[in-house]
């Protein structure tokens, strides 16, 4: 049974390393009110960073705003989600008034589904102020981004997941950088060698580091070459099909002119791919030859 390659990315999802970092320092201002028509709490949030408040010309910076409607049970569910990321938030959620069950009058007049009791309006007003304070505390304990994504969810998966192609390229490039730095550190150890035994060990480590750098550079530049190789082959095949059609098919003057333009276009794309392949190949040899030259210089020193 053929074993799967260890570097295969199939079935994996790449998460951005700074997905929950607070890159922007901004103040969140929450406003909560009872919506009579919907029978829900209206939650609104405004955000403005310090840099936006100090925009040039004295103009106020652009604000980010969000809004949503929630029933009490939905707010409790959001609270449970936030509490999983910060247990200190657990006792902070306020007690919300219970709403009347939507009976016949509730169906006819949905805006009248207020809290029970003669002081329903005052109770809802108090609950709104308590929810505002709760959201301020949640922003401080859980962080701006987690709170906004919980209260105002979006489908912006791109903010959390990296493109696997880009992730693969970055990983290979970082491996080349680490190999280059490792070889440089070993080469600097030549000056500290005081006897032949130490120097022999350094030479062995140097050979291993150089081979590792060459292998990493080979994989990285092969990865960079592959799209241009594919384009070269694809453009060549398309050009051949166009030339066959021009040679064997019975075509009108306009069709012939169109196919000739297509042949020129595929020739241009194929030539661009060839030039890119040559440039990447030159960069690869620069990388490996430079490392080998440094290795030889230290060996002669």
Domain count across the chain: 2
- Share above pLDDT 90 across residues of the chain, in percent, rounded to a whole number: 27
Give the residue from 130, 158, 186 where a domain finishes.
158
pTM for this entry: 0.48
Tell me, yes or no, whether 10 lies in a domain. Answer: no
Residue 20 placed within a domain: yes
The answer on 257 and 188 residing in a single domain is yes
Measuring CA to CA, how many Å separate 249 from each of 153, 235, 253?
57, 21, 12
The chain-wide mean pLDDT, for the chain, equals: 78
Together in a domain, 136 and 214: no
**Is 46 in the same domain as 79?**
yes
Could you read off the pLDDT of 214-255 as tens digits, one per residue? 999 999 999 999 999 999 999 999 999 999 998 888 889 999
Q: Is 30 helix (H, G, I), strand (E, B) or coil?
A: strand
**DSSP tag of 103:** -
| The predicted structure's pLDDT at residue 35 | 84
Most confident of 4-13, 161-170, 233-242: 233-242
Each residue's pLDDT tens digit, 279-298? 999 999 998 888 888 777 77
pLDDT at 258: 92
pLDDT tier, 166 (very low <50, low <70, confident <90, very high otherwise): confident
Same domain, 138 and 182: no
> Do 290 and 203 belong together in one domain?
yes
Model pLDDT for residues 58-111, shown as the tens digit of each residue: 433 444 788 888 888 889 999 998 988 888 888 889 988 776 555 545 555 554
Q: Is residue 4 part of a domain?
A: no
Share of the chain above pLDDT 70, in %: 73
Do 140 and 183 belong together in one domain? no
Does 145 share its domain with 26?
yes
Please give the residue range of the domain that contains residue 256. 163-300
213-218: long-range contacts, CB 8 A cutoff, minimum separation 24? 213/176, 213/179, 213/180, 213/182, 213/183, 213/287, 213/288, 213/291, 214/288, 214/291, 216/172, 216/175, 216/176, 216/178, 216/179, 217/176, 217/179, 217/284, 217/287, 217/288, 218/284
Same domain, 154 and 208: no
* Residue of 47 and 4 predicted with greater confidence: 47
Q: Identify whether residues 172 and 268 lie together within a single domain.
A: yes
pLDDT score of 139 more than 70: yes
In a domain, 8, yes or no: no
Judgement on whether residues 70 and 199 belong to the same structural domain of the protein: no
User: Is the domain of 146 the same as that of 207?
Assistant: no
Q: Are residues 22 and 140 in the same domain?
A: yes
Residue-level pLDDT at 27: 78
Q: How buried is residue 143: exposed, middle or buried, by Cβ count under 10 Å (0-12/13-18/19+)? A: middle
Quickly state the pLDDT bin for 8 (edges 50, 70, 90).
Answer: low
Indicate which CATH number applies to the domain containing 61: 3.30.1520
């Amino acid at each position: 049974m053929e074993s799967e390659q260890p570097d295969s990315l199939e079935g994996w999802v790449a998460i951005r390393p700074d997905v929950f970092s607070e890159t922007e320092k901004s103040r969140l201002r929450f406003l909560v009110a009872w919506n009579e028509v919907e029978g829900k709490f209206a939650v609104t949030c405004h955000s403005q960073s310090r840099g936006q408040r100090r925009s040039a010309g004295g103009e106020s910076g652009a604000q980010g705003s969000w809004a949503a409607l929630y029933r009490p049970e939905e707010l409790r569910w959001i609270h449970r989600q936030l509490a999983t990321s910060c247990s200190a938030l657990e006792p902070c959620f306020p007690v919300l008034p219970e709403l009347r069950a939507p009976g016949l009058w509730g169906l006819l007049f949905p805006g009248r589904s207020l809290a029970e009791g003669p002081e329903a309006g005052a109770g809802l007003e108090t609950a709104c102020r308590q929810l505002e304070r709760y959201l301020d505390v949640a922003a401080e304990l859980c962080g701006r981004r987690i709170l906004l994504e919980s209260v105002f969810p979006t489908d912006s998966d791109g903010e959390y997941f990296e493109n696997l192609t880009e992730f693969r390229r970055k990983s290979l490039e970082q491996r080349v950088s680490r190999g280059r730095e490792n070889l440089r550190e070993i080469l600097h150890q030549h000056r500290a060698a005081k006897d032949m035994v130490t120097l022999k060990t350094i030479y062995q480590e140097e050979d291993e580091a150089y081979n590792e750098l060459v292998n990493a550079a080979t994989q990285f530049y092969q990865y960079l070459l592959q799209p241009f190789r594919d384009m070269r082959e694809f453009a060549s095949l398309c050009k051949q099909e166009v030339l066959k059609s021009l040679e064997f098919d019975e075509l009108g003057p306009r069709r012939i002119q169109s196919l000739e333009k297509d042949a020129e276009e595929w020739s241009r794309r194929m030539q661009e791919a060839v030039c890119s392949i040559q440039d990447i190949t030159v960069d690869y040899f620069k990388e490996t030859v430079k490392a080998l030259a440094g290795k030889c210089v230290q060996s002669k020193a």
